[in-house]
């Protein structure tokens, strides 16, 4: 009997991680997404959250196998949005760009410190923090974000 995977095999989800530049909290990120969805509705456009990047991921199939875009807010991984499409395109100047299309639902995750970096990075399934509601049923999930940050900084969370 062979140890080779049977075809078709299921791809492991691959995620992306990116800094949410200018964003101060998960609440603010949720507000940005809600405002974009409101604007899209008024214009009769599809309600999907799109983030445009310069570089196109090469591992698109793995990302579309259940990957999310994890957002780093104020030095910690704080939230995610499920990626539903990756759309490479050329802008008006002919420069290659990429639309990361996400479900417009921001999910808070168990905060984890993250140093600044440029652009986006791949983020493997074994490295992602759990969703906050799963990681902390009840008490921690209902705490205000600034209090969670302070308790984490003190080593109490």
Q: In the chain, what are the domains?
A: 14-131 (2.30.130)
pLDDT at 9: 64
Residue 1's pLDDT is 45
Mean pLDDT across 37-64: 92
Q: What percent of the chain has pLDDT over 90?
A: 64
pLDDT of residue 2: 45
Check pLDDT > 80 for residue 5.
no
C-alpha 148 chain-centroid distance: 20
Q: What is the pLDDT of residue 151?
A: 74
- How high is the pLDDT of residue 69? 97
What would the mean pLDDT of 11-35 be, rounded to a whole number?
93
Q: Give me the count of residues in the chain.
A: 157
Q: Is 56 left (phi over 0), alpha (psi -120 to 50) or beta?
A: beta
| Cα 30 to Cα 13: distance, rounded to the nearest angstrom | 24
User: Which pLDDT score, from 0 to 100, does residue 6 have?
Assistant: 54
The pTM score is: 0.81
């Amino acid at each position: 009997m062979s140890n080779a995977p049977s075809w078709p095999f299921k791809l492991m989800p691959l995620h992306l991680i990116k800094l949410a530049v200018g964003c101060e909290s998960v609440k603010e990120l949720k507000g940005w997404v809600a405002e974009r969805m409101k604007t899209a509705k008024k214009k009769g456009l599809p309600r999907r959250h799109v983030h445009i990047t310069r570089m196109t991921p090469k591992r698109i199939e793995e990302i579309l196998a259940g990957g999310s875009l994890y957002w780093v807010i104020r030095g910690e991984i704080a939230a995610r949005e499920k990626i539903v499409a990756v759309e490479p395109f050329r802008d008006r100047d002919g420069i290659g760009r990429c639309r990361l299309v996400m479900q417009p639902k921001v999910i808070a995750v168990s905060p984890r410190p993250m140093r600044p970096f440029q652009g986006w990075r791949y983020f493997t399934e074994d490295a992602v923090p759990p969703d906050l509601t799963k990681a902390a049923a009840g008490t921690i999930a209902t705490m205000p974000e600034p209090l969670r940050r302070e308790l984490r900084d003190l080593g109490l969370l």
